[in-house]
């Protein structure tokens, strides 16, 4: 009990300290200003826009791949050495330090494939990083669907894919969503792999807008744009010697923590609801 | 026909994880091989200086490894006792309601970005420690290690608690029937029975500590320093990679290749941890 209290109290002290340092800097301007040499005017505009775009890219790759892999392993995979290999791989990947993913991305995406130090490289890196989380969540959600459902579907003449498409996926969607949110919460706070691929720490412009006035209206130029993200902005401010920047770091950290706590909280709440409501 | 095609697509998606592993190994080994053509392996392992960017270049990985090991040791000294005690309390003593609140809370803490912990280490814990030790430098392994330990507690306690809860009730009842108290039952029956699970929690904690980057990059300084004294500043393997990535090293230079050699060392280290964990689990698995 005492140990638990020590742990909880330390955390409360830490967060209160950060909130007190940072809250003074939180204002509308903080979200709409670019970083600046003058701490009083610096803001997180390019950081949060960068984070949002990277998250979009990550989700675009990680969710379909992760769900498809999870479905394959639960519904299709035969029991043989290939399946074993894939499963061992996923377990091992979950334990690889995130900075190693950064090195992979630096060698492969940035130089080999020539994506450069872009939003696309960062999104792909984080997608690989959270893939195990999405796969494991998908598998658990699918595993909790009773066999009866599948047999009922087959009995009505559905093929395997129809069973997956109309029964397995809809019934497991809430569980999958939980896993996706937890994975995204992890990705948004990841700093090390993104620094490794060479994200800029000081950036005073936004990536090109995805929507244009002239046809074809939608542009993907932003994928190749240099960028910065929230945790890197915070890192940059923390490692400066001036105390005024530390207040900025505290404010950015406060926003970041609120974002991840909200995402994780949502996931935990979803799972809690799920456990109560489902009765097969 | 369509069914087979869909199955193939799903299979390819599952193979992505294998490609990722292959990709990691390929990139690390490829760049490291060129690196080791410049620097012989013996010098890499035995040199006591790490100055890859100077004219008089030395590549002694021990220097970075000492920082990694020292900070991890500090972190584990905090995370293992506290994490285990919290797990025992939650699994054996806590009322149901408290556990229902504490478990999600621990999960929430596991989701806090590590850069935020780095901020705490540099700007909260270090000044606090400096009140006790006035000579403590602004960057030091101790405060980074302590905060890293706090960061790892949720992982250790959550997995240990799951392992202890999986111990069947009949074992506890048997122990009570012999006249053991709750505390004796928890420490002498439940913990040994759940030891394989607790051990894998520790191993996970170790590999988290070794691979942790941002806390160390922020709070432990980036000065390579062959030391096992936690009161000194020192760079770790991960902090070195960040330091190089922040600078502008030309692709293909020796400096660029060092981070892959450092990354390979890190990978080998975590792989050894995983294998050790696997062996521990097999040796201590208790079947009921």
State the average pLDDT over residues B221-243.
Answer: 77
Which structure tokens are listed for B64? 């970075």
Q: In angstroms, what separates the C-alpha of B213 from chain A's closest C-alpha? A: 6
Distance of alpha carbon B197 from alpha carbon B201, whole angstroms:
6
Residue of B nearest to A243 (CA): B123
- Give chain B positions within 8 Å (CB) of A238: 115, 118-119, 122-123, 218
Interface test with A, best of B84, B101, B112, B270 (most A CBs within 10 A): B112
Cβ of residue B25 closer than 8 Å to a chain A Cβ: no
Cβ of residue A39 closer than 8 Å to a chain B Cβ: no
Q: pLDDT for A216-253, tens place per residue?
A: 555 566 666 777 778 888 888 877 777 777 777 888 88
- Give chain B positions within 8 Å (CB) of A268: 104, 107-108
Q: In angstroms, what separates the C-alpha of B226 from chain A's closest C-alpha? A: 22
- Domains for chain A: give ranges and CATH numbers: 44-208+217-277 (1.10.3720.10)
Nearest to B17 among A14, A86, A265 (CB): A86
Count of helices and strands (H, E) across chain A = 12, 0
Cβ of residue B21 closer than 8 Å to a chain A Cβ: yes
pLDDT-based confidence at B117, cuts 50/70/90? confident
Give SS3 for A218: strand
> What pTM did the predictor assign?
0.83
Restricting to A residues 108-147, those with a Cβ less than 8 Å away from any Cβ of B are 108, 111, 128, 131-132, 135
Which DSSP string corresponds to A94-134? HTS-HHHHHHHHIIIIIIIS---SSHHHHHHHHHHHHHHHH
pLDDT-based confidence at A214, cuts 50/70/90? low
- Give chain A positions within 8 Å (CB) of B238: 97, 99, 192
Distance of alpha carbon A124 from alpha carbon A120, whole angstroms:
6
Do residue B6 and residue A64 have CB atoms under 8 angstroms apart? no
Do residue A264 and residue B111 have CB atoms under 8 angstroms apart? yes
Share of chain B above pLDDT 70, in %: 95
Restricting to A residues 219-248, those with a Cβ less than 8 Å away from any Cβ of B are 231, 234-235, 238-239, 246
- Give chain A positions within 8 Å (CB) of B204: 95
- Give chain B positions within 8 Å (CB) of A25: none
Closest CA to B198 of B84, B97, B69: B84
- Give chain A positions within 8 Å (CB) of B31: 107
- Give chain B positions within 8 Å (CB) of A104: 20, 23-24, 27-28
Residue of A nearest to B88 (CA): A1
- Give chain A positions within 8 Å (CB) of B87: none
Do residue B245 and residue A106 have CB atoms under 8 angstroms apart? yes
Nearest to A103 among B28, B93, B123 (CB): B28
pLDDT-based confidence at A200, cuts 50/70/90? low
Distance of alpha carbon B115 from alpha carbon A101, whole angstroms:
17
Give SS3 for A46: helix
Residue of A nearest to B210 (CA): A97
Tokens 């998908």, located at residue: A138
pLDDT-based confidence at A65, cuts 50/70/90? very high
pLDDT-based confidence at A28, cuts 50/70/90? low
Contact of A275 with A49, CB cutoff 8 Å: no
- Give chain B positions within 8 Å (CB) of A266: none
Cβ of residue A191 closer than 8 Å to a chain B Cβ: yes
Q: Which fold has domain B24-284?
A: MetI-like fold (1.10.3720)
Which structure tokens are listed for B157? 């306690």
Q: pLDDT for B157-214, tens place per residue?
A: 888 888 888 888 888 888 999 988 888 888 888 888 888 888 888 888 888 888 888 8
Contact of A163 with A230, CB cutoff 8 Å: no
Distance of alpha carbon A239 from alpha carbon A205, whole angstroms:
22
Domain extents for chain B? 24-284
Q: In angstroms, what separates the C-alpha of A5 from chain B's closest C-alpha? A: 9
Residues 6+ apart with CB under 8 A from B96: none
Residue of A nearest to B20 (CA): A128
Nearest to A97 among B10, B124, B211 (CB): B211
Q: pLDDT for A111-134, tens place per residue?
A: 777 777 788 888 888 999 999 989
Cβ of residue B13 closer than 8 Å to a chain A Cβ: yes
Share of chain A above pLDDT 70, in %: 78
ipTM summary value: 0.82
State the average pLDDT over residues B222-243.
Answer: 77
Cβ of residue B22 closer than 8 Å to a chain A Cβ: no
Do residue A238 and residue B241 have CB atoms under 8 angstroms apart? no
Restricting to B residues 258-277, those with a Cβ less than 8 Å away from any Cβ of A are 259-260, 263, 266-267, 270, 274
Cis check for the bond before A61: say yes or no (omega within 30 of 0): no
Do residue B17 and residue A131 have CB atoms under 8 angstroms apart? yes
pLDDT-based confidence at A203, cuts 50/70/90? low
């Amino acid at each position: 009990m005492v140990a638990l209290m020590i742990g909880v109290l330390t955390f409360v002290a830490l967060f209160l300290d950060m909130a007190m340092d940072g809250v003074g800097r939180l204002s509308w301007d903080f979200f709409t200003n670019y970083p600046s040499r003058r701490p009083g005017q610096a803001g997180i505009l390019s950081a949060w826009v960068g984070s949002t775009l990277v998250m979009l890219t990550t989700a675009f790759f990680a969710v379909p791949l992760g769900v498809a892999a999870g479905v394959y392993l639960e519904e299709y995979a035969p029991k043989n050495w290939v399946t074993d290999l894939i499963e061992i791989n996923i377990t091992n990947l979950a334990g690889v330090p995130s900075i190693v993913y950064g090195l992979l991305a630096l060698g492969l995406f940035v130089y080999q494939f020539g994506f450069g130090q872009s939003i696309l490289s960062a999104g792909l890196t984080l997608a690989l990083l959270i893939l195990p989380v999405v796969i494991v969540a998908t598998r658990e959600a699918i595993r909790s669907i009773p066999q009866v459902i599948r047999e009922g579907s087959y009995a009505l003449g559905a093929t395997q894919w129809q069973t997956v498409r109309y029964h397995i996926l809809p019934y497991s969607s809430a569980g999958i969503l939980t896993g996706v949110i937890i994975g995204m919460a992890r990705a948004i706070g990841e700093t090390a792999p993104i620094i490794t691929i060479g994200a800029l720490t000081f950036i005073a412009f936004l990536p090109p807008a995805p929507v244009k006035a002239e046809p074809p209206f939608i542009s993907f130029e932003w994928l190749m744009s240099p960028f910065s993200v929230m945790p890197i902005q915070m890192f940059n401010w923390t490692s400066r010697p001036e105390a005024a920047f530390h207040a900025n770091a505290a404010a950015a950290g406060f926003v970041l923590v609120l974002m991840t706590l909200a995402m994780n909280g949502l996931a935990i709440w979803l799972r809690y609801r799920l456990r109560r409501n489902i009765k097969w | 026909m369509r069914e087979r095609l869909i199955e193939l697509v799903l299979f390819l998606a599952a193979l992505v994880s294998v490609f990722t592993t292959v990709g990691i190994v390929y990139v690390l080994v490829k760049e490291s091989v060129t690196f080791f053509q410049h620097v012989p392996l013996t010098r890499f392992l035995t040199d006591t200086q790490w100055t890859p960017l100077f004219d008089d270049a030395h590549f002694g990985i021990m220097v970075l490894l000492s920082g990694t090991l020292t900070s991890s040791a500090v972190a584990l000294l905090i995370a293992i006792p506290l994490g285990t005690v919290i797990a025992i309390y939650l699994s054996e003593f806590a009322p149901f309601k408290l556990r229902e609140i504490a478990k999600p809370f621990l999960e929430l803490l596991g989701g806090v970005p590590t850069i935020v912990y780095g901020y705490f280490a540099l700007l909260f814990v270090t000044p606090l420690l400096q009140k006790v030790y006035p000579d403590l430098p602004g960057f030091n392994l101790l405060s980074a290690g302590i905060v890293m330990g706090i960061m790892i507690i949720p992982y250790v306690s959550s997995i240990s608690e799951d392992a202890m809860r999986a111990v069947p009730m009949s074992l506890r009842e048997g122990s009570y029937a012999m006249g053991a108290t709750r505390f004796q039952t928890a420490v002498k029956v439940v913990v040994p029975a759940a030891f394989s699970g607790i051990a894998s929690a520790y191993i996970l904690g170790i590999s988290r500590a070794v691979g942790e980057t941002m806390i160390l990059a922020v709070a432990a300084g980036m000065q390579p320093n062959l030391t096992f004294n936690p009161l000194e500043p020192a760079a770790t393997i991960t902090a070195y990679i960040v330091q190089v990535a922040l600078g502008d090293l030309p692709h293909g230079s020796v400096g660029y290749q060092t981070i892959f050699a450092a990354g390979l060392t890190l990978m080998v280290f975590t792989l050894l941890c995983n294998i050790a964990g696997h062996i521990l689990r097999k040796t201590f698995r208790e079947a009921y």
